[in-house]
Structures are given as structure tokens and as C-alpha cells.
Amino acid sequence: MTELDELVNVRYMVDDVQASIDFYAQHLGFEVRTSAAPAFADVTRGSLRLLLSGPASSAGRPMPDGATPGPGGWNRIHLIVGDLAAEVERLRAAGLPFRNDIVTGPGGSQILLQDPSGNVIELFQPAGA
């Protein structure tokens, strides 16, 4: 196995690769692995490798039916945090947008943060944590 085989890989389509690199590194603790901005970058946090693909990347090319891949939607990465309220306060103070307020259920509490392109990041605090 190679190092890449040990990572969970997720691709997000983004509007601006450099803005996305800055967002994930500065606000969520990701490390830049490679950058070929403005087309592509990949960043890691633990065993998560997030592939940031801009419109100029090969992943951004139109499909045979003409549909163009784009950011947004409801699929998301899920990041566990120890103190959700404190994280939300810190990120709101930085001016970052959320899609909702904190929701609490039987498994814990969550909120949906948006990256600069509108992709969703779920911040989750397990019940009892």
C-alpha cells in the first residue's frame, strides 16, 4: 500500500482553488499537500485528503451531455469537533457562512459550514463529548 491508499479521498469542485486552499488551511486546520492553482490542489487533515478542483481542472470538463461539474450540493465531509459551540463562535467571528444553526439529535450536535464555493462541511460534536 502507498500513502495515498491509506487516505480517504473526497473531491470538491470549487470556483477558486486558492480561496479554497486558504479557507481549509486557515479555518479548518488542513495542510496543503500539492497546489497547481488555479486548476487543482489537494489538502489533508488526518486521513482525509480533499481534492480541490477548479473549472480549469480535468474534473471540471463538461460531460458528454454538456453538463458542467460545479460546487455546492448537500453531500459533505464530516469533521468531528470537541466543542461545537466554540468552533461556531470562532468561525462566525471570522465571517464564515453557515447554512443553518446548530441542530441536536440523539447522536450529537451538528451545523453546516460553507466553503467559498458553497460546498458543505458538517461540523459534528458527538453526544456526551
Question: Mind listing the pLDDT tens digit for each residue in 59-69?
Answer: 999 999 999 89
- The CATH number of residue 82's host domain is 3.10.180.10
Residue 65 lies in a domain: no
Question: Mind listing the pLDDT tens digit for each residue in 85-114?
Answer: 999 999 999 999 999 999 999 999 999 999
Residue 44 lies in a domain: yes
Residue 36 lies in a domain: yes
Domain that holds residue 115: 3-58+70-126
Residue 64 lies in a domain: no
pLDDT of residue 3: 77
Number of domains in the chain: 1
Q: Please, which residues have CB within 8 angstroms of residue 113's CB and are 6 or more apart in sequence?
A: 91, 96, 97, 98, 99, 120, 121, 122, 123
- List beta partners, residue 51: 11, 42
**Whole-model pTM?**
0.88
Residue 94, SS3 per DSSP: coil
Residue 118, SS3 per DSSP: coil
Task: Grade residue 72 by pLDDT with cuts at 50, 70 and 90.
Answer: confident
Residue 21 lies in a domain: yes
3: left (phi over 0), alpha (psi -120 to 50) or beta: alpha
pLDDT of residue 2: 58
pLDDT of residue 109: 96
